[in-house]
Structure 1
């Protein structure tokens, strides 16, 4: 039976009163700062470390031919080890051996610089920039002006240490041969959340869980990133590469065998031998390396693990706008950048300036800009408006 206008008005008034009461009775909960989905806010794009930006719509297979370089930033004063940048909104953060600098992401103009003695790992939620100095410190900087919000010593000086940021929690750590561990902090305050000694943090976060390996005891644990509590364990000596874009599965490796593992219970969905290296993962495929075949990218079906194509095209791939990017080195030409159709592996035509701008790190594509570094010079490309 349809409501009459009078009865509908009465019902709506009652619902409004209940809603007002609920708002009055329940205190507001402040939302955690979170980067926009299209931001490239940490190594590998986001906490999944999947190298995939699903929200890029300007740099595509149809527009890569029109890419032009707009500006560049080179290391100065003897600095080395320029890292791939991270980007949040209109800010770009760039690390090298002399510290970290903030720049306008569209012009390259400098905002501020924070000096350090080595190139840190970076991650941001848009408000706070985290710089993990792997010789033993985590520094939190205000993204607006570079001022220090807090800094914490990390007991392990881990040359291959890792930094993860997810849902207001930062986890850092690794193995320096003497001290091994993972340390978690509240991003807003710097207060310790948890620590686990004797375990080595791995890259990805999936479904609020991260992976900790046990180098000296063997096996792996999946823990809640907010609490450090163990969710499941495996006797496998897996290395955690990435999580898929849904955040429901980990992609892990052991002895050149790549496996897709459920994040909730560690169940193996599929395994493929002969595959290794940091992958990129979109909604359909995993793009990774082939054992014994340098700079060969193998595309396998995300759901079945079956090979779809392979090509000697580069390392450390990233995916955005329906384009697969990879740095490729040759003895004669040095580093070059390749762009491939992710469905077929067919190379796409690039302007010479783009093709010659490759490097060993991931190509960063976000907000209509493509950023590459060869370790000494960051170059920024975009598609001109018609």
Structure 2
């Protein structure tokens, strides 16, 4: 054997162990340039601006009818599946339910390595779903159902470090009498369950040597389980009391896992101004005098205040500012024990990415009693407003409006026309029940929107699913005081989805809408090929003409498509990929597949 062969053979052998594809380490320079990297999908929303828009155009309105599955990867776990994969240099990295992570060949779907997560608790606050991983500095990062942040070696999947975000077992026990609720109200059928807890299900964000992640579940409250398999959530149940803790978003050192900064989403002074209207002028059905009178008794309510983080933030690298939404306050649906506006819950907030300090906030729903989290990730883009180019941040809300703000100050520039029916919004509950729309699910739930900046269009996937909101009371007994509770029950029929294109240049006028059989949960991918992709709980994955809204193509994936699609290119060929695994909470058929579509060879 020649000396050259003796040198090269170990290298060849080492490369062979990487499997059919291997990605180069991803550094800050590559992440900052992600928007210009057409072939890859390096960040949760493809770029730091979180626009979820692909510049690829090989698959377009003239070729999409020939789109067909190129490979199917089975994770082996059939459960609520919400992942948005990332792709780097021909390798796809994805998270499965329960926070397992896989690397697969993006051209063939063959597994390269697999990380099986072992949760340290059986009590999951928010179900098994995980919305994606992050890549950077030779590592893959995943936030887990049991509130940990794990760094994996990008090449092998081996654990590099494992940091605790919080200890789920340390959460205080709820103060509400759950057993009394189930026994005293026949409508609840004794099935009240769930609790406030701690987990993490969003993709982390990597920036400047840091990994940024928020926790979920702290505003969760109680819920009524569905009475049959495959049925959606029965109801959200709220009871005044002290349970839970403040939510937070934090940054960790990417090398060691050490915490760098933390921002708590509820803080002392969260009562705010006791607003009688929203910041955009819509009246709120609140008894301000009663709230102010109760405030001294509940001055520490912020310590139990909730405010989950349901998505990875958007980031402006030029200013170093993060933009993200915050979830509802705790206890959910019950406002008596948390007087005031409950800052910074149900808000869009801007933070300094290097320090975690608050830059500005905009509270969409002060003193939220309706479950109107700011759950869908915001997007950053440039837009001409009143003849002037503005750097803006937009967010598709559960309220049924698309909000557009000045990125530097938070000033609301405009909100779109409603993209979903609205009725009885911000109405207080009654014993008979008030039917509110959007219901507790939204509007746009956590589903990411997609922004075609060049054409000034936002694409949103939304639902019409009204809820009946009741205030009820269990009478006092000789040994127990009366218990007042609130029940938000989603409608059993009449719900549907709306795929909508919003003309941002026209101040938020609706460009087109397409009604779908199922409420839309999962998100949108728009492409330079003039297409917008989204999926439904019935398994349909569809492509729409971005200009007209005409449905051009559809494929049934066999399980609910309730995850955001992505696009990428390998060896000069474009692919569109999506997870098909349904959702337990919405009653959609579950599975465990990722399917990649492409044009025939």
Normalising to structure 2: TM-score of the pair? 0.53
Partner-residue secondary structure (3-state), 1:152: strand
Q: Flag the structure with higher strand content.
A: 1
Post-superposition Cα deviations, 1:56-108, rounded to whole Å, max 9, x if no partner, equal 132222322232322211233x5534434222221112322361111111011
2:103 is aligned with 1:102 = yes
The residue number in structure 2 matching 1:20 is: none
Q: Is the 8 A contact 2:205 2:211 kept in 1?
A: yes
Matches within 5 A, 1:279-290: 279-283=449-453, 284-289=456-461
Post-superposition Cα deviations, 1:129-163, rounded to whole Å, max 9, x if no partner, equal 11110321001112111122222101165456433
Distance 1:158 1:51, change over 3 A: farther
What is the alpha-carbon distance in structure 2 between the residues aligned to residue 282 and residue 245 of structure 1? 9
2:288 is aligned with 1:72 = no
What is the alpha-carbon distance in structure 2 between the residues aligned to residue 103 and residue 273 of structure 1? 42
Deviation of the 1:383 alpha carbon: 1.9
Name which of 348, 352, 371 aligns with 2:577: 371
2:411 is aligned with 1:267 = yes
Matches within 5 A, 1:47-62: 47-53=48-54, 55-62=55-62
What is the alpha-carbon distance in structure 1 between the residues aligned to residue 313 and residue 61 of structure 2? 28
Distance 1:176 1:80, change over 3 A: closer
Q: Is the 8 A contact 1:206 1:263 kept in 2?
A: no
Q: C-alpha root-mean-square deviation of aligned residues, in Å? A: 2.9
Distance 1:104 1:254, change over 3 A: closer
Distance 1:306 1:274, change over 3 A: closer
Matches within 5 A, 1:199-218: 199=266, 200-201=308-309, 203-207=312-316, 208-211=321-324, 213=326, 215-216=328-329, 217-218=342-343
Name which of 229, 251, 258 aligns with 1:184: 251
Post-superposition Cα deviations, 1:191-236, rounded to whole Å, max 9, x if no partner, equal 3220122454454314232236385423443111222122223344
Q: Is the 8 A contact 1:141 1:148 kept in 2?
A: yes
2:423 is aligned with 1:251 = no
Post-superposition Cα deviations, 1:260-297, rounded to whole Å, max 9, x if no partner, equal 11221101111135333132221121112456362111
Q: Is the 8 A contact 1:373 1:379 kept in 2?
A: yes
Q: Is the 8 A contact 1:204 1:250 kept in 2?
A: no
Q: Which moved more, 1:376-385 or 1:365-374?
A: 376-385
2:377 is aligned with 1:241 = yes
What is the alpha-carbon distance in structure 1 between the residues aligned to residue 328 and residue 75 of structure 2? 36
Matches within 5 A, 1:290-301: 292=464, 294-301=496-503
Structure 2 stretches of 5 or more lacking a match?
Answer: 1-25, 119-127, 169-196, 219-243, 267-307, 330-341, 366-372, 384-390, 420-442, 465-494, 582-591
Partner-residue secondary structure (3-state), 2:416: strand
The residue number in structure 2 matching 1:359 is: 561
Q: Is the 8 A contact 1:129 1:143 kept in 2?
A: yes
Deviation of the 1:356 alpha carbon: 4.6
Q: How many residues align?
A: 347
